Amino acid sequence: MQASEIKKVTCIGAGVIGYSWALYFALKGLDVTVYDVKQEALSLAGQRIGKSLKVLVKNGVIKNTETAVIMERITYTTSMQEAAGNAQLIIESAPEDYDIKRQIVREAEDFCSENAIFASSTSGLLISEIARNAKHPQRFIGAHPYNPPHLIPLVEISRGEKTDDAVIQTAKEFFTLIGKEPIVLQKEALGFICNRIQMALYREVCDLIMNGVCTVEDADKAVTFGPGLRWGIMGPSLVFHLGGGQSGIDGIMQHLKPSIDLWLKDMADFKEFPVDFGAIARAGVEEELQNRPAAIGNDATSLSEYRDKMLIEMLKLHGKM
């Protein structure tokens, strides 16, 4: 199957990731079926899609007259047969549990085409394990989006031990065709690429907070108004390459190596987050929200709206919106 032949997509799981995937595919003109075992989950997904469309209209991404057509491309069902039967791409966004995902695979494979690509939105589980008992493990890939998928372009494509190389290539071409920025893992790794990078950073954030070096709010400011601004433009290796001037990245690494080595020796290396950090971080976040003006989000709802607004503006600068 060619990437251009993928016209019907099924999203299994109608939660935060599933609804957002469905919205993105519909925005790109694809026919989408959203499946969930709970009718109330499907109803909530429809409501979330409606609200997200209003945000896109408000920020000039689409016209209000387009919303009805976009929503008509999405159907909702509690029938796996109806969901999986005609899809060229099936993407599951179930909870991060091997047993749950394997059960979905068993049910979907009873009805889906042998040529359908089966993707998992897993945040970091191994595709080989998800597809361990699959009838057609060669068709299985990981397609990990970043939240919210209808805005963030990145998709991490991962393979299992038996995944066909042609399926990886088709998936990469498909996501590129619909405006995503796919990257392909060269081998399986728990957590994939970005979650490992994120957790390395957040482990250090945790350590700084727990050791009284900074507050939750100042750690957030440090990233938002420091390296985060540059990372929104280019990756860390390119940032270092520019920082090295004519010598480039190798020059700056040699120049800073004595200092970097000292920092690394003093940085966090724990393998499990402290059990009490969640409560400490929550208290810090609540204090941070109290200090934020409403215009930039000071509760969960307004913070989400502000995030989406800023993401859209950044994506416009990147030519992705």
Residue 306 φ then ψ, to 5° = -65, -45
Q: Strands 140-145 and 154-159: what pairing?
A: antiparallel
What are the structural domains of the chain? 3-184 (3.40.50.720), 194-290 (1.10.1040.10)
pLDDT at 108: 96
The terminus-to-terminus CA distance of the chain in angstroms comes to 28
pLDDT in tens, the chain (321 residues): 899 999 999 999 999 999 999 999 999 999 999 999 999 999 999 999 999 999 999 999 999 999 999 999 999 999 999 999 999 999 999 999 999 999 999 999 999 998 999 999 999 999 999 999 999 999 999 999 999 999 999 999 999 999 999 999 999 999 999 999 999 999 999 999 999 999 999 999 999 999 999 999 999 999 999 999 999 999 999 999 999 999 999 999 999 999 999 999 999 999 999 999 999 999 999 999 999 999 999 999 999 999 999 999 999 999 998
Residue 181 φ then ψ, to 5° = -115, 85
pLDDT at 1: 86
pLDDT at 273: 97
pLDDT at 136: 94
Walk across the sheet containing 140-145 and list its strands: 74-77, 31-35, 8-12, 89-92, 117-120, 140-145, 154-159, 181-184
Helices in 110-247 by DSSP H: which ranges?
127-130, 165-177, 194-210, 216-224, 227-231, 236-243
**Nearest CA-CA partner of 22 in 129, 135, 148, 139:** 148
Cβ count near 160 (within 10 Å): 22
**Nearest CA-CA partner of 290 in 224, 237, 222, 215:** 215
Residue 8 φ then ψ, to 5° = -120, 125
Residue 60 φ then ψ, to 5° = 75, 15
